[in-house]
Amino acid sequence: MPCLAGKKPVTNVIVTNSSGRGNGAPPALRRLSFMTTMVPSTTPATTLIGPGRQALDSALLQLDRAADRLGLDDGLRTMLATPRRSLTVSVPVRREDGRMDVVQGFRVQHNTTRGPAKGGVRFHPSTDIHEVTALAMWMTWKCALVGIPYGGAKGGVAVDPASLSTRELERVTRRYVNEIMPIIGPDRDIPAPDVGTDEQTMAWIMDTYSINAGRPVPGVVTGKPTILGGSAGRAGATSRGVLISALKALGGSPAGRTVAVQGFGKVGAGAARYFADAGCRVVAVSDVTGAVVDRSGLDVDALRAWAEETGGVYGYRHADALSHDELLELDVDVLVPAALEGVITAENASRIRARLVVEGANGPTTPEADRILADAGTTVVPDILANAGGVIVSYLEWVQNLQACSWSAGEVDAKLRGLMEDAFDAVAAMSAERGITLREAAHVIGVGRVAETHRMRGLYP
């Protein structure tokens, strides 16, 4: 490993976290952590390590382990750990009472070697440049793993959408798009929904970009309403992929298997619906308002109607309440974390009783927890495989937009299933052959394909 200490950082990532972290971090993490610890001279030397930084540390550690297995040289390793572009923008927003607020927005393009950058936009108060960088990196490996011609990107705005009126939300979205306009486009970087954003957000993104371009550009964004060129099957695609990968991992009949779902948003609520349709018993669900349990099986549609009416699952009368922590630790066949990163940790991993964890969310399991689960014999279908259904159907939507055609729900679903099952089989085969976890195998395949593409293209100039 070349000694890079004291040299100027090779990335334009803007980071406020100091180091010092390297001293206590595992050696593998120390190797890559310099990549994102550019400290402006005015930054105090000690800053708390937030969840975004933890997500990025996890992503770098996973990369480092895959790079070790692949025998990548230091230069390539550094290249893969470094985002190609990283943009932080200020988003001024006029509030309903006439005041002006300014929030921070981000867009990170981690890698564009295999195709245009692709990744969601998150609206969440705690999102930061570290989290967005980690999510962009995972997108790169995910797209390579399922064999679609994209690099990885992610965007975010540090705002709580629930605290904004619809008009304020529209103004934030349009101004954010305006600020990141120079780096997005249908052949450059294509946003999609993520936490706190939805079809309506994508419609505003499409409209703002198109107005500025002077022509309709549906391919600039995916996850749009179908009336604007969205694809049949996109809304439920991530959840369908979660079910497909869970069924592959379970083997045998799904009938009667018990399922707990953390997060009852786009991914979690859809997954609960599909598990129930497949004959499983969805016994517990949580969202930010609370958690509910019914061992005889929840009525997912009734719970969804309640959550839509009241703003969350809390208070649902036909089930018992339980705590957020208790939901994760239930004795079930399948646990689907479908909320945020870092929820299964070294602290609670030994209490997870699910036989199978299927990661609807990105980064829900920390590397320490991963080891504890593996030692306990718990199978984890990793995020970059389990939740890849969303970007697969985003890709299908983009192809339809570029060709000005539209495919039926059946056609889209068949392609989604084929790509998910092929990726699962490849990961399972490598896991069995090398005696490594599904996550380790998924990263070896994803990182390996990106590394190979770099090698073939060569380094310019």
Choosing from 58, 111, 140, 262, the residue that interacts with ligand NAD (CB under 6 A) is: 262
Options 151, 191, 193, 254; binder of ligand NAD; rule CB under 6 A = 193
- Cβ of residue 76: shortest distance to ligand NAD, in angstroms? 27
Check residue 194 for interaction with ligand NAD (CB under 6 A): yes
Dig out the tokens for 210 from the structure. Answer: 């198109």
Considering only residues 196-225, where is the footprint of ligand NAD by CB under 6 A?
196
According to the binding rule CB under 6 A, does residue 303 interact with ligand NAD? Answer: no
Q: In what order do the strands lie in the sheet with 281-287?
A: 320-322, 290-293, 281-287, 258-262, 334-337, 356-358, 379-381
Q: Which is nearer to ligand NAD, 196 or 229 (CB)?
A: 196
- CA–CA dist 391, 181 (Å, integer): 21
Q: Measure the CA–CA gap between 82 and 268, rounded to whole angstroms.
A: 31
Q: Tell which positions 368-407 bind ligand NAD, by CB under 6 A.
A: 387, 390
Task: Please report whether residue 267 would count as binding ligand NAD according to CB under 6 A.
Answer: yes
Q: Given candidates 206, 339, 392, 427, which one binds ligand NAD under the rule CB under 6 A?
A: 339
**Part in contact with ligand NAD (CB under 6 A); list of ranges 42-50, 191-199, 271-279, 435-443:** 191-199
Residue 326 has a CB neighbour count (10 Å cut-off) of 15
Strands 117-123 and 151-157: parallel
Residue 339: name the closest of 297, 381, 301, 290 by CA: 290
Stretch that binds ligand NAD, among 31-39, 65-73, 283-291, 371-379 (CB under 6 A): 283-291
Shortest distance (Å) from residue 124 CB to ligand NAD: 8
Binding mask 225-254 for ligand NAD (x = CB under 6 A): -------------x----------------
Q: Which of 264, 274, 275, 316 binds ligand NAD (CB under 6 A)?
A: 264
Pick the piece of the chain touching ligand NAD (CB under 6 A) from 28-36, 188-196, 401-409, 448-456. 188-196
Count of residues that interact with ligand NAD, criterion CB under 6 A? 24
Stretch that binds ligand NAD, among 11-19, 73-81, 165-173, 260-268 (CB under 6 A): 260-268
Among 67, 81, 206, 361, binds ligand NAD (CB under 6 A): 361
User: Which among 38-46, 181-189, 333-341, 441-449 is the span making contact with ligand NAD, rule CB under 6 A?
Assistant: 333-341
Smaller CB separation from ligand NAD, 268 or 382: 268
Query: Which of 131, 287, 413, 440 touches ligand NAD by CB under 6 A?
Result: 287
The nearest distance, CB 180 to ligand NAD, in angstroms, is 18
DSSP 387-425: TTHHHHHHHHHHHHHHHT----HHHHHHHHHHHHHHHHH
Task: Write down the catalytic residue from 154, 224, 248, 266.
Answer: 154
> Is-catalytic flag, 154?
yes
- The continuous run of DSSP H or E covering 358 comes out as strand 356-358
118 lies in the binding site for ligand NAD (CB under 6 A): no
**Residue 80 DSSP symbol:** H
Contact window for ligand NAD (CB under 6 A) among 214-222, 250-258, 355-363, 430-438: 355-363
What gap in Å lies between CA 183 and CA 190, rounded to an integer?
Answer: 10
Rounded CA separation 224/338 (Å): 21
Closest to 173 measured CA to CA, from 182, 161, 163: 161
What is residue 89's three-state secondary structure? Answer: strand
Neighbours of 193 (CB within 10 A): 27
State in angstroms the smallest separation of the CB of 170 from ligand NAD.
17
CA angle, 181 as apex, 177 and 182 as ends, to 5°?
Answer: 160
Decide if 72 contacts 451 (C-beta within 8 A): yes
Please provide residue 380's backbone torsions phi and psi, each rounded to the nearest 5 degrees.
-120, 120
Q: Which amino acid is at 282?
A: V
Q: By three-state DSSP, how is residue 328 classified?
A: helix
Give the residue numbers marked as catalytic. Answer: 154
Binding site for ligand NAD (CB under 6 A): 193-196, 238, 262-268, 286-288, 324, 338-340, 360-362, 387, 390
